[in-house]
Amino acid sequence: MIASWLVPSLITLLLVVGAAYWLFERRYRRLIDNLYTQATTDGLTGLYNHICFQMRLREEVGRVKRYRRPMALLMIDVDGFKPFNDRFGHPAGDEALRMVAQSIRVTLRRVDLPARYGGEEFAVILPETPQAGAMVAAERVRQRIEALVGLAPLTVSIGVSTYDGAEQGAAASDVIRWADAALYAAKASGKNAVRLHSV
């Protein structure tokens, strides 16, 4: 039996140990959250990074094959970005990319996944989105970026591809290739345009 004079000391000890554990657990969770954010997020724009985009696109293509619910992919490229950088400098170019990323983010639904694909190129996964919806979303993004006020007008060209699972052998790389082909068509048409990949 524990002596009655020891009980307050044991309670105090348990409270101290419990508080220390709680603080350690909280710091540990914060550290894990920070590491996850660094591993999945582009440091400049705050959008998802290329690796996270690739993983999520493979998951989405697999989901389409299972459930036959369409998805779309937007490939977005900032028009004339090299001359912009040459004229205004890299810090201004970085700010322009942040502005474009923010415009993309606020234009989309919460379920959509915007990512920085690389350089001045962005990609957006649109789950459960048919062709018509993807074209509307792409045009909204294009218009919002065109309306940005900055050092110089910014525009983007956007390629759109959709996948409904009909081609069972298609992979995530095919969906990217289709959107890239549409992006090149948008650039070839004079830029500041949205084009759809037609199978």
Domain-located, residue 117: yes
Q: Assess whether pLDDT exceeds 70 at residue 157.
A: yes
Residues 146 and 113 in one domain: yes
Residues 91 and 175 in one domain: yes
Q: Are 40 and 49 in contact (CB under 8 A)?
A: yes
Residues 35 and 70 in one domain: no
Stronger pLDDT, 18 or 71, i.e. the higher one: 71
Range 59-75 burial, b when 16+ CB lie within 10 A, else e = ebbeebbeeeebbbbbb
Distance CA 161, CA 177 (A): 9
Residues 17 and 80 in one domain: no
- The per-residue pLDDT for range 159-185, each reduced to its tens digit, is 999 999 988 889 999 999 999 999 999
Per-residue CA distances from 56 to 41, 109, 165 (Å): 13, 16, 16
Residues 171 and 191 in one domain: yes
Residues 89 and 147 in one domain: yes
Helix (H, G, I), strand (E, B) or coil at 26: helix
Domain-located, residue 93: yes
CATH of the domain at 89: 3.30.70.270
The edge-to-edge listing of strands for the beta sheet with 71-78 is: 113-118, 121-126, 71-78, 156-163, 194-196
Residues 146 and 190 in one domain: yes
What is the tally of structural domains in the chain?
2
Domain-located, residue 45: no
Distance CA 194, CA 167 (A): 24
Residues 123 and 179 in one domain: yes
Q: Are 179 and 159 in contact (CB under 8 A)?
A: yes
For helices 50-67 and 7-40, give the axis angle rounded to 10 degrees.
Answer: 90
Model pLDDT, residue 117: 97
Residues 33 and 81 in one domain: no
Q: Assess whether pLDDT exceeds 90 at residue 56.
A: yes
Give the type of residue at 144. R
Domain-located, residue 29: yes
Residues 64 and 156 in one domain: yes
Stronger pLDDT, 1 or 139, i.e. the higher one: 139
Distance CA 151, CA 105 (A): 21
Domain-located, residue 140: yes
CA angle 67, 73, 76 (to 5 degrees): 170
Q: Assess whether pLDDT exceeds 90 at residue 18.
A: no
Domain-located, residue 10: yes
Residues 64 and 157 in one domain: yes
**pTM summary value:** 0.84
Model pLDDT, residue 1: 55
Structural domain harbouring 4: 1-40
Residues 103 and 189 in one domain: yes
Our answer to whether residue 120 is catalytic in this structure is yes
Give the strand pairing for 156-163 and 194-196: parallel
Stronger pLDDT, 4 or 26, i.e. the higher one: 26
Q: Are 164 and 199 in contact (CB under 8 A)?
A: no
Residue tagged active-site, from 60, 120, 121, 146: 120
- The per-residue pLDDT for range 121-155, each reduced to its tens digit, is 999 999 999 999 999 999 999 999 999 988 889 99
